[in-house]
Copies of this chain bind each other. A is one copy, B any other.
């Protein structure tokens, strides 16, 4: 896959078939920015290529269809979530509180919040985006978490916990509905922790 064009230094000229890890990374970053800004529907392979300064064929070459580019782009945004199984492996004592605090932390930080909001927006407005999220990302993540749990229906339990945190994010950061929007994050952690603890540990 490295035989498309010689690697070169500096900013690649448009229409050139720049390749190598830096072009791939640049495409991913452009894809993430385009999907976040325009939503799933209005983002095109051509637009991503233009923003990355590469030929559209190179986007196809590395990532395939628009759905596959989307999956790769949103996987980057879920990197913080990929930490979750490691958090769980530390043991189940106080796991509800640790998870609640970790999740709120991701949403409090504008850098990690923005791409997640873009994903929610795309999933709500475009079935194809919802399908990618469901198939490529969410399922794998929930199953990795479930492996660490010792309860009946562990994937169902993991998804119930996730649903609560997603709903809080929706009301606090999207709708910005008080009192949740202006509540102290530790107040939320205190209330939510026992719920997550029950879902993830009590049979």
**Chain A residues close to B by CB (< 8 Å):** 39, 117, 120-121, 123-125, 130, 133-134, 138-139, 142, 153, 155-157, 159-160, 162-168, 170-172, 174-180, 183, 187-188, 191-192, 194-195, 198-199
Closest to A194 in B: B198
Q: Is the CB of B159 within 8 A of A166?
A: no
Closest to A191 in B: B160
Q: Is the CB of B163 within 8 A of A168?
A: yes
In the complex, 11 of the A-B residue pairs with CB atoms within 8 angstroms, ordered by the A residue number, are: A123-B175, A124-B174, A130-B175, A134-B176, A160-B168, A163-B168, A165-B167, A166-B167, A166-B171, A167-B167, A170-B170
Closest to A178 in B: B139
Q: Is the CB of B179 within 8 A of A138?
A: no
> What's the least CB distance linking A105 to chain B, in Å?
17
Query: Which one of B139, B176, B191 contacts A199 once the chains associate, using CB atoms below 8 Å?
Result: B191
A198 to B192, CA, bound (A): 10
> What's the least CB distance linking A19 to chain B, in Å?
35
Residues of B within 8 A of A191 (CB): 156-157, 160, 199
